[in-house]
Amino acid sequence: MKQHSIPDDRLDDLWVFDGESSAEALTAKLIAHSTAGATSKREPRRKPLAEASALYSNTGRRTMPDDTSTSTTTTTKPMIEVTDWKPLVKKTLRGFCTVKFPMGLIIREVMVHEKQGRKWVNLPAKPQLNRDGALNYKDGKLQYAAILEWKDKETRDRFSNTVIRIIEEKHPDAI
């Protein structure tokens, strides 16, 4: 199977579409990209960034058309869902949660931290191993390697703030 790469500056084009589900739109966009120059049957209409941003409110929710009716009324579906809050206070750690995205991605063991009023979340990581296969320590602290990461600081901070806000809404005394 031929692998296709998409330049980083084109990745944002894959996320916000009008009139199609994300999977259908992503597939269409990938096909259109892989057949550069060939005319595709239907290219999804991408919403301008300002219009797409307006879909997201401060409550971590987005407005989507109601698929079950023909009217123009809208329903609110969660942008992300935060579940399985497990409090655990240890140094800056305040607990763990699970984050579910509408596309079906589930990230378990997201770590929630707080220090001197500053709150943030970390994606799961794995312990680093040295060349001998033993755990890697630096200055007495176990070192971890990222498994997942965000493409930039702005996206990471937006995700972190959204998860923190949802946890504080569901569990006011958690953090």
Sequence ranges of the domains in the chain: 8-55, 81-170
SS3 13: helix
**Cα 73 from chain centroid?**
27
Q: What is the reported pTM?
A: 0.56
Token readout for 93 is 């750690």
Contacts of 20-28 with C-beta under 8 Å, sequence gap 24+, read 20/44, 22/102, 22/103, 23/103
Residue pointed to by tokens 């009716």? 69
Token readout for 175 is 């953090």
At position 165, the amino acid (one-letter code) is R
Instruction: Check residue 71 and give its pLDDT.
Output: 44
Sequence-separated (6 or more) residues with CB below 8 Å from residue 131:
none
Instruction: Check residue 175 and give its pLDDT.
Output: 85
In CATH, what class is 81-170? alpha beta
- Give, for all 175 residues of the chain, the pLDDT tens digit: 455 554 555 444 444 444 445 555 555 555 555 545 544 455 555 555 554 444 444 444 444 444 444 444 455 556 899 999 999 999 999 999 999 999 999 999 999 999 999 999 999 999 999 999 999 999 999 999 999 999 999 999 999 999 999 999 999 988 8
